[in-house]
A and B are shown apart, each in its own frame.
Chain A
Amino acid sequence: MPLTRTPTKTTSRPAAHAPAGDTLLRADHVQLGYWTPRGFNLAVGDASFEVAPREKVIVIGPSGCGKSTLLKAIAGFITPTGGTISVSGRTSLEPGPDRAVVFQEFDQLFPWRTVLDNVAYPLRVNGRSRRDALARAQEYVELAGLAHAADRYPHQLSGGMKQRVAIARALALEPAILLMDEPFGSLDAITRQRLQAELNRIVDQTHVTLLFVTHSIEEALVLGDRVVVLGNSPSNVIEIVDVRDLGGPETVEYGQMRGHLRDLLAVDKPIADDEEEEVLDGDGS
């Protein structure tokens, strides 16, 4: 594995504007939208937040608030109409493997490549030798717990396995930041929980910096160091909360934080106060 140091867990909440040296990703008054036949459609009004190296930041918000749009902008697929996004100091962002993306869709694997090859191929593209790429891919496939399925084709995998391959593929690229857009959104609750635990383990092992989009409060609390809460579209950042030192789901703080996030997300759009249902939006898209 690339790094063996344990992640430095600061107890103090990072300042809203941390010094530049400590920032890997900075979104500064980012405005995003789409041109439609009926004119410009604003999706994200004004979003500012930062991600420090090795931090796990969750972006949460109601459906349609622009989470995916924001992630796509950071990945370089769309350009902000206002404000700036800078990653490692660079502001003109083309899509690239330094910001590896794990998408929500299960069909993000190349169907004509085996699991191992799906992970090795991007490494080859980025200049590694065949042997090197395969050895490295093997390592990450094992890390994702898929050694037994390395020779299978994607159509022979379950949805959860496919997402694990996608995570292995992204991690093997050793991105400066790993971008994930509701990768577990279409999975059943049990698989989802298992993969969340798995992701936590993998992220802690590789010390990768993570920006993770979800609309599940539970998922945000399980995975995140900090949670960036977006409001309804055209969205602003309503609040950034630190959740890294929360106890487990049984603790009082956890319950309070969950309640707080629920209140935040219910500001504009009241939702039924269902104790078990953490997903804000029924259809998982």
Chain B
Amino acid sequence: MATAASSIPVARPRAVGWKRLPVWVRRAIIFAALIAIWQAYVSFRDVNPLLFASPWDTATTFWDGLRDGTLTKPTKTTLLLLMEGIGIGILVAAVLTAFATLTDVGEDLLTLLTSILNPLPGVAVLPLAMLWFGINDKAILFVIANATIWPIAINISTGFKTANPTLVSVGRNIGLSRVRQITDVLAPAALPYAISGLKTAWAFAWRTIIAAELVFGVAGSEGGLGNYINNARLYFLTPQVFAGLVAIAILGVVFETVFGVLERRTIVRWGMKTS
């Protein structure tokens, strides 16, 4: 599919050299420059290595962490916990949305719950979760699920409510059952909302789990990424603190990309979102 971006003729009287470079080259150059400044700062300003790691130290620590598993294991722990939490969040959100779509009471309930709980920062319920579940994975799961349910539920139900009434009429006209009306018409029509809800949920959950792990220390048997960073801080293993942050940043970029691909394959391709 020809993308809109590539076909728009950019008529610039004076094409500036920088703007003519491909985006990824521009980004790579800026990225390299920032790394160089960072390295220069560490090398020439004689900073305390206990407080500041050089890019080189960070990179080697990161690499070692990948090879001996000291970094991959906590990352895996965090991601698994995150997926589980988001999974629970999606399930609960789906049930709530279905309830809200089918009944008036459900709709009011969802609106009320969302307006109360959605603005609450995810970690804010952590103390409560610790009281209820103790200091373990369950508490973290609870916090993540809570952080994801509301943005997903509110987005999907908005998507259902704003679905094009003409399409709903077409669905009835061609003889769709109520169930197929939901799965085949309302669901795809609400996809732009669902994706944006998922993005928000992901961002909330990601911040929440790292924060929760930082507070928790070791949760259960294995610690996650937040715990990895906190431990490193405790023992003044500054390059590890940096490596942990790099891991978090990389994962953030990876998920951005995944969502970008998902959008391009669906709603952008179908003209339901311009980008």
Q: Which A residues contact B (CB, under 8 angstroms)?
A: 75, 77, 95-97, 99-101, 103, 105, 107-108, 110-112, 121-122, 125-126, 153-156, 173
Contacts and interface: CB of A to CB of B under 8 A. Distances in A.
Given A110-B185, A112-B188, A154-B271, A103 B175 contact: no
A125 B174 contact: yes
Contacts of A107: 164, 166-167
Given A95-B169, A153-B270, 4 more contacts: A103-B170, A107-B167, A112-B188, A126-B175
B166 A97 contact: no
A154 B188 CA distance: 15
B176 A100 contact: no
Contact of B169 (A77, A96, A110, A112): A77
A156 B185 CA distance: 20
Nearest to B185: A110
B269 A153 contact: yes
B172 interface: yes
A111 B189 CA distance: 8
Given A125-B180, A153-B271, A110 B175 contact: no
B223 to A, nearest CB: 43
Given A153-B270, A156-B271, A108 B172 contact: no
B82 to A, nearest CB: 29
B175 A108 contact: no
Nearest to B187: A112
B250 interface: no
A124 to B, nearest CB: 10
A30 to B, nearest CB: 20
Contacts of B266: 112
B48 interface: no
Interface string B233-275: 0000000000000000000000000000000001001111000
Given A110-B188, A112-B266, A153-B271, A95 B173 contact: yes
Nearest to B271: A155
Given A125-B175, A126-B175, A103 B169 contact: yes
A101 B174 CA distance: 9
The prevalent SS among residues of B at the interface is: helix
A155 B275 CA distance: 14
A74 to B, nearest CB: 11
A96 B174 CA distance: 6
11 contacts: A77-B169, A77-B172, A97-B175, A100-B173, A101-B169, A101-B170, A107-B164, A107-B167, A121-B184, A126-B175, A154-B271
Contacts of B180: 125
B167 A110 contact: yes
Interface in B216-244: none
Nearest to A166: B170
A164 B185 CA distance: 21
Contacts of A101: 169-170, 173
Nearest to A123: B174
B173 A75 contact: yes
A100 B170 CA distance: 9
Between A95, A155, A173, the greatest number of chain B beta carbons within 10 A of the residue's beta carbon is seen for A95
Contacts of B174: 97, 100, 121-122, 125-126, 173
B169 to A, nearest CB: 7
Given A153-B270, A155-B270, A108 B170 contact: yes
A125 B170 CA distance: 12
Contact of A108 (B167, B191, B270, B271): B167
B173 A96 contact: yes
Interface string B149-170: 0000000000000001011011
Given A125-B174, A125-B180, A112 B166 contact: no
B272 A111 contact: yes
Nearest to B164: A107
A72 to B, nearest CB: 9
A209 B36 CA distance: 76
Contacts of A103: 166, 169-170
Interface in B169-214: 169-170, 172-176, 180, 184-185, 188, 191
Closest 5 CB pairs of A and B: A155-B271, A122-B174, A95-B172, A111-B270, A112-B270
Contacts of A156: 271
A110 B176 CA distance: 14
A125 B176 contact: yes
A126 B266 CA distance: 26
Contacts of B185: 110
